Copies of this chain bind each other. A is one copy, B any other.
Amino acid sequence: MDSNFKQKWEEYRAEFEKALGEYLEGMQVRPQVLSESVRYSLALGGKRVRPVLMFACARALGGKTSDVARFALALEMIHTYSLIHDDLPAMDNDDYRRGKPSNHKVFGEGQAILAGDALLNEAFSVCFEECRNGKTYLNAAAEICKNAGMHGMIAGQAADLFFEGKEAGAAEEEFIILNKTAKMIVSAVTVPALVYGADENIVALFAEFGKHFGFLFQITDDILDVTGDFEKVGKTIGKDAAEEKLSSVRIYGLEKCGEMADQHRDICMRILDELPYDCSFLADLTEYVRSRES
């Protein structure tokens, strides 16, 4: 792994935090409880994997991170809203997120639902403003919207909730991972190619990379739910099993999950090799996710 990898990640993350900070500085929202609840969850931070992926893809394509910074912000808003709603008692019922109390534990369920709604809506406000830059930006915005909605992330979450405690197998789990996790990552890695008007086959390669990166990310997440450490992971461990949620580990067992994660990593690497750009950071990031502890 490139010794500059962590430094590069921090650089991308800092650029994202700067864009987010500027956004929050200009944000004037009433009532105060709405403003505070939205800020609380956006500022919880985390690894910012999706913005980092988007920035890295923009750089690989020879562009600047600032070209896609507003889309990175929109995508992270959508990701953040989905965590707020997922943590609600009626959904995954999780009291902690990134080591801190979940949004609804601080602001109450009603305001948490509204904070999520507000972030989803605001993400698209940001996207509509970007659309004023031209048709390729509209293509990127429409892609983000499609992958987040009822043909993407929401479909995955609805299936995840539906199959809790029910008999279901590999096909259902694949549907859930593809929609709930992978499609948002597909957005992260295709937005730069769409913004720059790259050839269809290039966009398709990025999308394929995003899909397998998403599977790798979710399978390693499922493994960490069994083997992880609360201090490092920042959320309750063992919840999948306790709630009888579908998970890769429940279906395949730990050993097979390790093999599957290896396979998705290998496919990611092959796709990066095929792309006619310097994708070394994306390769390092893929290796990092395979071996992550949080």
A residues neighboring B (CB under 8 Å):
29-31, 33-34, 38, 81, 85, 88, 90-91, 108-111, 113-114, 116-118, 120-122, 124-125, 127-129, 131-132, 138, 141-142, 145-146, 148-151, 154-155, 157-159, 161-162, 175
The chain B residue sitting closest to A142, CB to CB, is B128
Copies in the complex: 2
* Chain B residues, Cβ within 8 Å of A114: 85, 154, 157-158, 161
| A and B contact pairs by CB, cutoff 8 A, 12 listed | A30-B159, A31-B159, A33-B158, A34-B154, A34-B158, A38-B150, A81-B117, A90-B108, A90-B109, A117-B117, A120-B120, A121-B145
Report the bound CA distance from A104 to B220 in whole Å: 33
Which listed residue, B38, B129, B151, B158, touches A111 by the CB 8 Å rule? B158
A249 CB → nearest B CB, Å = 22
Report the bound CA distance from A158 to B38 in whole Å: 12
Q: A34-B154, A91-B113, A129-B142 are in contact. Are A118 and B149 (CB under 8 A)?
A: yes
The chain B residue sitting closest to A78, CB to CB, is B121
* Chain B residues, Cβ within 8 Å of A85: 113-114, 117
Q: A113-B90, A117-B85 are in contact. Are A149 and B131 (CB under 8 A)?
A: no
Contact A121 B31 (CB under 8 A): no
* Chain B residues, Cβ within 8 Å of A124: 124, 127, 145
Which listed residue, B29, B109, B141, touches A151 by the CB 8 Å rule? B29
Report the bound CA distance from A111 to B114 in whole Å: 16
Which listed residue, B117, B131, B138, B161, touches A154 by the CB 8 Å rule? B117
The chain B residue sitting closest to A158, CB to CB, is B34
